[in-house]
Chain A
Amino acid sequence: MNYTSYKVDKNLNRQDILFTVARVPNSSKAYVAGSDFKIHEIDFDNPKPDLRSFPAHSSYVTALILKDDTLISGAYDGKLSWWKASTGEKIKTLDAHKKWIRQAALSPDGKLFASVADDMALRIWDIKDGKMVREMTGEHKPLTPNDFQSMLYACAFNKDGKLVASADKTGHIVVWETHTGKKIATMEAPIMYTWDPSARRHSIGGPRSLAFSPDSKLLAVGGTGTIGNIDHLEANGRIEVFNWEKSERVHEFVTDKSKGLVEHLEFHPDGNILLGAGGAGEGFLAFIDLKEKKVAHQEKAAMNIHALASTDGMKSLLAVGHHRVLHFKMA
């Protein structure tokens, strides 16, 4: 893939901070949501006004899953809501978690989705009837080693949906068997979590994104490096790649041109390129060549990217974040 050829062809300013995006297949439409507690349907080819906006939650909306005409949203209010995408009609709402829902991921067959939240539970849901089919708890501790609340930030399915991974603030990563709920591997990425015991006495960081390689042998984890002054996200973005079956870290990559958190990770379908996106004061895209074992290309973004959705084998990247939507198109 020609990762040096991306151009921003759509740059939409917004009032809200967007944390999640779900694209409508084969179109320029997408659903976005974030700091105004609403879901917005947008058409980035015809950006103003939004096609539709509707109140969805009582806090930041951080997860959107789209399957056919079913849209599911998750938020810091701990609720999951089901919507009829074409009309915005609410179908139902569940008290899904006791604390903030941080992320959700759709299984490859489109039948299930996973949610993770600060109640330190990974839950698997049936997308059609909304029933919880599995719950994975007990592995991610509610408190950090320093007695502060931990957070469960990220989850991802592998390509056949038989595996699901989760990562918490302290850098503890677990691979689970989706259909049994059994833990089958654990890994640690402690560099992504900074606890400052002396100057400021709190913490920052933690893994924010996960992605399995297409062959399911590798698990990539995105976050940030060890931070000196934890007032700021001042470390470079960091990606660690594990051979999860051996619980062994096989690569580590640093976005040396950009600081902040890697909040989105995605393997190219050929398995050779890994895309990381994120930021802090400003945003970035980082393309990692796994054959060359290096960060092959870094692209600045005009906003801190909180989420990204790609289509056409990464030829089209729709990024959302701080007061902006950006569409990157590969030439």
Chain B
Amino acid sequence: MSKIRKNYCGSSEHEVSRRQFLGSAAGGIAGASLLAQESLSAELKKQGKSVILLWLAGGASQFETFDPKPGAVTGGPFQSIQTSTPGVRISELMPKMAARFKDTCVIRSLNTRNGDHGSASQLMMRGRKDEASLKYPDMGAVLARELGKPESQVPDYVSFYLQTEGRNFSGSGFLGARFGPMELSKSVMPENINKPDHISEIDFHDRMALRNLWSKNFEQGRVSGTLASHQQAYLRVNGIMDSQKLFDVTKEPQKIRNQYGPTQFAEQVLIARRLAESGVPFVRVGRAWWDSHGQNFETHQELVPELDHVMATLLTDLEDRGMLKNTLVVTLSEFGRTPGINSSLGRDHFANAWSCSLSGCGIKGGSVFGKTDERGDKVVEGEIGAARLFATIYKALGINPQKNYYVGSRPVPLTDPGTEPVKEVLA
């Protein structure tokens, strides 16, 4: 358990919350204490907002997705197609997203200056580089903390990454293990949350009932935050054990499963929707591996139509359920791909002018922000880096990007100091 700041001023702003206590108790925050503006986020938590991040690991090509350059020497063989927004065109590999572009904003002006898989992945998951003495939390950990409800009985942060290439970039940093991801790397079903086989269902419930009885008896006449937290932790573990059914895609009607399609990525995204629907604030679905140094066009012919179908199905499904206004769907990679086409007909790593998309909650749909030049070599309008992208994502969710966490007595804003969200992207 971490120390409470010695210069605690007694204000509600600096009060240690049950959540912080739980966080510290569960994971520990080495050498740091956390104090944040909980009161400001109480309302936000009530709104039940969620983020589904479609993480296109390895680096999807902007030319073959959201920023096509047909006819340019760098453009490759694909044409562009008209979206539902007049004048906005995306790759012909994305006809379904083109038809339902109304909820999506494409950002075409990322310049993140890092073309290394490992450190670029960390950058695009955290919104900034770690410091030598300070590990920043990734987007999932921040949103688990900001959007997760203390009384929630589902996980706050779930990460699917079933492929083996490109893992190990996420982390809850100074927020500690309490806000770390439930990682699913072997199967879409969580491991180690089942009751032991040697305990029967009846025995399990009897034990829980007995523990509850003793706990309530002990609590009688006592007012203690520690006791409440203890009880909350048990409820939470029980809830997570119970949430296994959310990961069981066979519980979903066959009609819906058919809509998403048969691929592993489709199945995970459908589960992500189930999780969001049940109050999980952040789900990342890792879809590896887009690193097309050879045969870029063949690779994107496989992966982009799958992305197009699954993403469009997800957005429609969220809309049909009335969830889209409170669910932000992000497609993001660690970087894009080079304008130049190499001799293996591949594209290499390129972080100077690439694209991502934001759809749904808080986003100005049917829009494009930023512009690259005719060849896609550089950004010519609206250049932004990871920090502004993250500030925009947080703002879209109603979170102040300049909100401070405290590591010791050091205030640490959610995004780099002074970073402004991109207003043009926000609804």
Pick the contact of A199 from B73, B164, B295, B346 — CB < 8 Å? B164
Q: A279-B343, A280-B344 are in contact. Are A100 and B77 (CB under 8 A)?
A: yes
Chain B residues positioned under 8 Å from A97 (CB to CB): none
User: Is B293 touching A304 in the complex (CB atoms < 8 A)?
Assistant: no
User: Is B262 touching A231 in the complex (CB atoms < 8 A)?
Assistant: no
Judge if A90 is at the interface, Cβ distance under 8 Å. Answer: no
Cβ distance B67 to chain A, nearest Cβ, rounded Å: 18
User: Is B165 touching A199 in the complex (CB atoms < 8 A)?
Assistant: yes
User: Is B58 touching A200 in the complex (CB atoms < 8 A)?
Assistant: yes
Q: A149-B305, A232-B294, A233-B295 are in contact. Are A201 and B343 (CB under 8 A)?
A: no
User: Is A231 touching B293 in the complex (CB atoms < 8 A)?
Assistant: yes
User: Is A201 touching B294 in the complex (CB atoms < 8 A)?
Assistant: no
A321 vs B10: C-alpha distance when bound (angstroms): 73
Cβ distance A294 to chain B, nearest Cβ, rounded Å: 27
Judge if B302 is at the interface, Cβ distance under 8 Å. Answer: yes
User: Is A203 touching B163 in the complex (CB atoms < 8 A)?
Assistant: no
Tell me how many residues of B have a C-beta within 8 Å of chain A.
37
A281 vs B345: C-alpha distance when bound (angstroms): 9
Chain B residues positioned under 8 Å from A279 (CB to CB): 343
A91 vs B263: C-alpha distance when bound (angstroms): 44
A93 vs B168: C-alpha distance when bound (angstroms): 52
Most buried by B among A36, A203, A232: A232
Q: A37-B71, A199-B164, A200-B288 are in contact. Are A304 and B343 (CB under 8 A)?
A: yes
Q: A15-B73, A201-B264, A201-B288 are in contact. Are A232 and B344 (CB under 8 A)?
A: yes
A37 vs B302: C-alpha distance when bound (angstroms): 23
User: Is A147 touching B262 in the complex (CB atoms < 8 A)?
Assistant: yes
Cβ distance A196 to chain B, nearest Cβ, rounded Å: 8
Cβ distance A305 to chain B, nearest Cβ, rounded Å: 10
Cβ distance B267 to chain A, nearest Cβ, rounded Å: 11
Label chain B's interface by main secondary structure.
Answer: loop
Cβ < 8 Å to B, chain A residues 303-322: 303-304, 321-322
User: Is A280 touching B264 in the complex (CB atoms < 8 A)?
Assistant: no
Which residue of the partner chain B has the closest CB to A321?
Answer: B343
A200 vs B302: C-alpha distance when bound (angstroms): 12
User: Is B165 touching A200 in the complex (CB atoms < 8 A)?
Assistant: yes
Pick the contact of B344 from A16, A77, A202, A260 — CB < 8 Å? A260
A234 vs B291: C-alpha distance when bound (angstroms): 14
Which residue of the partner chain B has the closest CB to A206?
Answer: B298
Judge if B299 is at the interface, Cβ distance under 8 Å. Answer: yes
Chain B residues positioned under 8 Å from A60 (CB to CB): 77
A41 vs B264: C-alpha distance when bound (angstroms): 48
Which residue of the partner chain B has the closest CB to A55?
Answer: B71
Judge if B370 is at the interface, Cβ distance under 8 Å. Answer: no
Which residue of the partner chain B has the closest CB to A227?
Answer: B294
Pick the contact of B301 from A58, A149, A234, A322 — CB < 8 Å? A149
User: Is A281 touching B343 in the complex (CB atoms < 8 A)?
Assistant: yes
Tell me how many residues of A have a C-beta within 8 Å of chain B.
40
Which residue of the partner chain B has the closest CB to A323?
Answer: B343
A303 vs B342: C-alpha distance when bound (angstroms): 11
Label chain A's interface by main secondary structure.
Answer: loop
Chain A residues positioned under 8 Å from B341 (CB to CB): 17, 35
Judge if B306 is at the interface, Cβ distance under 8 Å. Answer: yes
Pick the contact of A59 from B58, B79, B287, B344 — CB < 8 Å? B79
Q: Mark A114-128, 1 if CB is under 8 A from B, else 0.
A: 000010000000000
A81 vs B218: C-alpha distance when bound (angstroms): 86
Cβ distance B1 to chain A, nearest Cβ, rounded Å: 40
Chain A residues positioned under 8 Å from B342 (CB to CB): 281
Judge if B261 is at the interface, Cβ distance under 8 Å. Answer: yes
Chain A residues positioned under 8 Å from B263 (CB to CB): 146-148
Judge if A151 is at the interface, Cβ distance under 8 Å. Answer: yes
Judge if B289 is at the interface, Cβ distance under 8 Å. Answer: yes
Judge if B78 is at the interface, Cβ distance under 8 Å. Answer: yes
Q: Mark B60-76, 1 if CB is under 8 A from A, else 0.
A: 00000000001101000
Chain B residues positioned under 8 Å from A76 (CB to CB): 77
Pick the contact of B294 from A36, A148, A231, A323 — CB < 8 Å? A231
Cβ < 8 Å to A, chain B residues 276-306: 287-289, 291-295, 298-299, 301-303, 305-306
Cβ distance A118 to chain B, nearest Cβ, rounded Å: 8
User: Is B163 touching A201 in the complex (CB atoms < 8 A)?
Assistant: yes
User: Is A199 touching B163 in the complex (CB atoms < 8 A)?
Assistant: yes
Cβ distance A96 to chain B, nearest Cβ, rounded Å: 16
Can you add 5 more A-B contacts, CB < 8 Å, to A304-B344, A304-B345?
Answer: A199-B163, A199-B164, A200-B163, A201-B264, A202-B302
Interface of A with B (CB < 8 Å)?
A: 15-17, 35-37, 58-60, 76-77, 100, 118, 146-149, 151, 198-204, 230-234, 260, 279-282, 303-304, 321-323
Q: Lowest 8 A-B CB distances belong to which pairs?
A: A200-B289, A233-B294, A60-B77, A322-B343, A148-B302, A199-B165, A232-B294, A280-B344
Give me 19 A-to-B residue pairs in the complex whose CB atoms sit less than 8 angstroms apart, sorted by A's number. A17-B341, A36-B73, A37-B71, A58-B79, A59-B79, A60-B77, A77-B79, A147-B262, A149-B305, A199-B288, A200-B289, A202-B302, A230-B294, A281-B342, A281-B344, A304-B344, A304-B345, A321-B343, A323-B343
